[in-house]
Amino acid sequence: QHHIDPPSLVEDLGDDQLLRRRLDDAKLDLWARGISPNLDEIVRFGNNLQDQVNGMETWQSQVAKQGPIRKARYASYHHNKKTKPRQKQKQQLANKNDMMLSWISMLHGGGDNVISSSSTAAAMKTKIQQLTQHYGSAFAQAIEQNQQEHDQDCQESCRYFYCAPASSLSPNNNNKTTQDQTLEDLIGTNRTTIRSYSMGAVPPEDFADEFGFPLDLIKVTQGQPLFSRDEAKHVIDMAESEGLSSNEYVSGKYKLGGDWLTKLPQTRQWFNEKLEKTMFPLLSFLFPEIVSHPSMLRAHSVSLLKYNASHPRTDVHIDNGILAMTLAMTPQDEYQGGGTFFEHFAVTSSNSHDDTTSMDSTILPMDVGHATLRPGSVRHGGQRVTRGTRYILGAFLLIEDRVEHVRRLKNRGSDLRSAGNLDAAAQHFEWALALNPRCTTCLKDWAEILHKQQRYEEAEAKIRQALELLEYKDSDALFTLGMLLSEQGKDQECMDAYRQSLALNSEDAELLYNLGVKIGEQPNNGDRIEEILMYKRCIELDPIGFGGAWLNLGTILAEDGNLDDAETMFIKALGSSKPLEVKPKAMINLALIYHNKVGQAFQQQDIDAAKAAVLQAASYLDSAKPLLDQVSSFESGMQQYQSQYNTLRLACHRNLGQIYAGTGDLALCEEEFRRATDAFPTEIQAWQMLGRVLEIQGKKEAMQDVISKIQQLQSIKGGRF
Ligand SMILES: O=C(O)CCC(=O)C(=O)O
Ligand SMILES: [Fe+2]
């Protein structure tokens, strides 16, 4: 009956034909949202086609911003594609046409394309049955466990957070359904509107069809706030008086301030009222296909986060719930930086927020009293706050009648992985992917397991699959890809992946460090300037986490002959948060610098300076020794440092002995060389030094002992070869 144009045809369309298609497209979208523009209305936009297209598209985007399609739905379309970033433009065009064609089939009565929630539920049931046949009872048990965990989580939620009384669900209850109400009915103001943003290339992990992906599913309130600046201030004051600031969380690489609402009862009371009166009705209004009634919503993992200088940001992450919301609790004029960060905004031109005054297109603008409501699986983060304090209230949500099998299987996989049960973990990711082949977090977690098992090629395949789905907009996946390529010796590709990752998230200290090291490993030391820049950016972000960056900077400077600056770098490295890995190396490097100064002082015949430098070098070496003894020599590069230690320490004994001899203090000289033979009893050189000072002093008997010791050592050494 109808066919879908292959993408190549799209490009060949003439201008007029393309405009006509866009006009139809806008018409169909409006129609799907319950508006049927007639010819008069279209002509009002102008006499030529271009003006009509512009007018219709503006109208359509305004309507679209109010929420997802409510009166009708179109078939989910699956872009089964291998998108390369540069092909994106063409692909988007093709996808638009796919959608249009499926709507045409609806217009012609193609009712089987319309998704009803009962038909998707039935489809899910069938899929689970099929997968049970394929995977066996272990799969069925895992599904059963999902249901149990879901029920428990919902019950637990109701212990702390607002849950509608059971009666609100009764069929006799004559309330209008949310779908029939306007935003004004729901939240009591006609001055609040909704703005929608794309959630990127990857659909929600669960219930993507019901959500209506690829519609713009990140919803932000605009205009009249949901609560006032004063109300927000009151809540923050209350939370602070309840001890908000005594807690701290860890979010990936960062520490986060704030606390759970379960621990802040008064703040929770305020929040619960907001849930009942505003947020649950609003969520049901905005996501009617998935939230059949406000009473179905459950809140869990609700926290009030506090960003400031000591707790500036979160990692990029996904939230653990089918839906998530963020309430802005601080006026934008009270802090700098901050905001919710979305990596996929960076290059997506199709986002509807081009006209904002925000400098950074990856940050979603949201002032106090406003809310962001979105599928939980969208990647996002709390942007670094550079001045002042910013509070937000974040909540993960569940829906009573919707068990998220993909998310739950994946989470259990992650737990199994943490517990070291890698095979069972991989099994869970396989199951989750069987339910949703576009679960990118499943692919990423699985890749990390394969990485740990040193199955680099398989891991690379999985991570690339995830990256294709993400249109390469995931800094963490690109980072993992870089590491996998590095393991396989593909250095150029590795550096490309790291650089792409950096373009998305310039604030990843580990990434900056790894890229710097990789550049430094290249023949002729790679691009020194880029390498140095990476280390500098790394230590700016994290001055103690990456002592290796200070070490490498120091080494580069020392190689350039700039020993004073090199020394400063090595001293900084001593402050590393990983003392065993970094400190002994820093100390040995510092000893090397001082050893060098000894040589210079000798040349200038400045004996006092030479002595001071030797003592300093020796002191660094003596502090390094117990640390060196603790680290395994298998640790990368450690063996080299251990032999450096021996050479340098012996040299210090020799230099100090010579200085004493030079000032005529032979007793002190002998004492120093005896220390050398005590510390290095198998080093012939040490005995030879001692022998010489004994000879000068005419201590014949003692010298005889030393000579026989040397002969003994020489015979052992000789016998070995
Ligand atoms: O700080 C923000 O805007 C986002 C914080 C966050 O991760 C969340 O609310 O889920
Ligand atoms: Fe979050």
Q: What is the per-residue pLDDT across 685-709, written as a single tens digit (0 to 9) for each?
A: 999 999 999 999 999 999 999 999 9
Lowest mean pLDDT among 187-191, 442-446, 638-642: 187-191
Backbone angles phi, psi at 77, to 5 degrees: -115, 145
| CA contacts within 13 A on the Cβ side of 599 | 8
* 380 CA: nearest ligand 1 atom: 7
Nearest Cα to Cα of residue 191 among 221, 146, 235: 221
Q: Return d(Cα 683, Cα 342) in angstroms, integer.
A: 62
Ranges 355-364, 430-439, 556-565: which has the least confidence: 355-364
Of the listed ranges 81-85, 322-326, 340-344, 624-628, the least confidently predicted one is 81-85
Q: What is the mean pLDDT of residues 76-85?
A: 27
pLDDT for 626 beyond 60 = yes
Ion ligand 2 — residues with CB < 5 Å:
319
Q: How far apart are CA 644 and CA 621, in angstroms?
A: 10
pLDDT value at residue 684: 93
Q: Does residue 430 have a pLDDT over 50? A: yes
| Helices and strands (H and E) in the chain: how many | 28, 13
Q: How far apart are CA 595 and CA 655, in angstroms?
A: 9
CB-count exposure of residue 503 (10 Å: 0-12, 13-18, 19+)? middle
* CB 312 near ligand 1, within 6 Å: no
Q: Would the CB of 329 count as within 6 Å of ligand 1? A: no
- The answer, yes or no, to whether residue 544 has pLDDT greater than 80, is yes
Architecture, CATH, for domain 178-402: Sandwich (2.60)
Instruction: State how far the alpha carbon of 263 is from the alpha carbons of 241, 304, 306, in Å.
Output: 12, 10, 15
What is the rounded CA–CA span in Å between residue 208 and residue 228? 34
Picking from 35-44, 130-139, 505-514, which range would have the lowest pLDDT averaged per residue? 35-44
String of b and e for 217-229 (b: at least 16 CB within 10 Å)? bbbbbeeebbbeb
At 150-169, the pLDDT tens digits run 999 999 999 999 999 876 65
Q: Tokens 């290796």 appear where?
A: 548
**Are 470 and 341 contacting, i.e. CB atoms less than 8 angstroms apart?**
no
List, in order, residues 6 or more apart from 81 with CB less than 8 Å away: 91
pLDDT of residue 101: 31
Residue pair 579/613 in contact by the 8 Å Cβ criterion: no
What residue spans define the domains of the chain?
A: 7-114, 117-160, 178-402
* pLDDT of 718 higher than 70: no
- With a pLDDT cut of 90, the percent of the chain lying above it is 67
Give the pLDDT of residue 355: 43
> Counting Cβ atoms within 10 Å, is residue 309 exposed (0-12), middle (13-18) or buried (19+)?
exposed
- pLDDT band per the 50, 70, 90 thresholds, residue 117: low
- Position 357 scores a pLDDT of 39
Residue 301 Cβ contacting ligand 1 at under 6 Å: no
Query: Ligand 1 pocket: which of 199, 392, 396, 397 to mutate (most atoms <8 Å of CB)?
Result: 392
Range from 120-129, 321-330, 634-643 carrying the lowest mean pLDDT? 634-643
Predicted local distance difference test score (pLDDT) of residue 634: 63
Rounded distance between C-alpha atoms, residue 293 and residue 278, angstroms:
13
* Spacing, Cα 513 to ligand 1 middle (Å): 27
258 lines ligand 1 (CB under 6 A): no
Question: Which DSSP letter does residue 384 get?
Answer: P
DSSP 8-class letter at 327: E
Beta strands at 254-260 and 297-307: parallel, antiparallel or unpaired: antiparallel
Nearest Cα residue to atom 2 of ligand 1: 382
- pLDDT given for residue 85 in this prediction: 30
84 pLDDT more than 60:
no
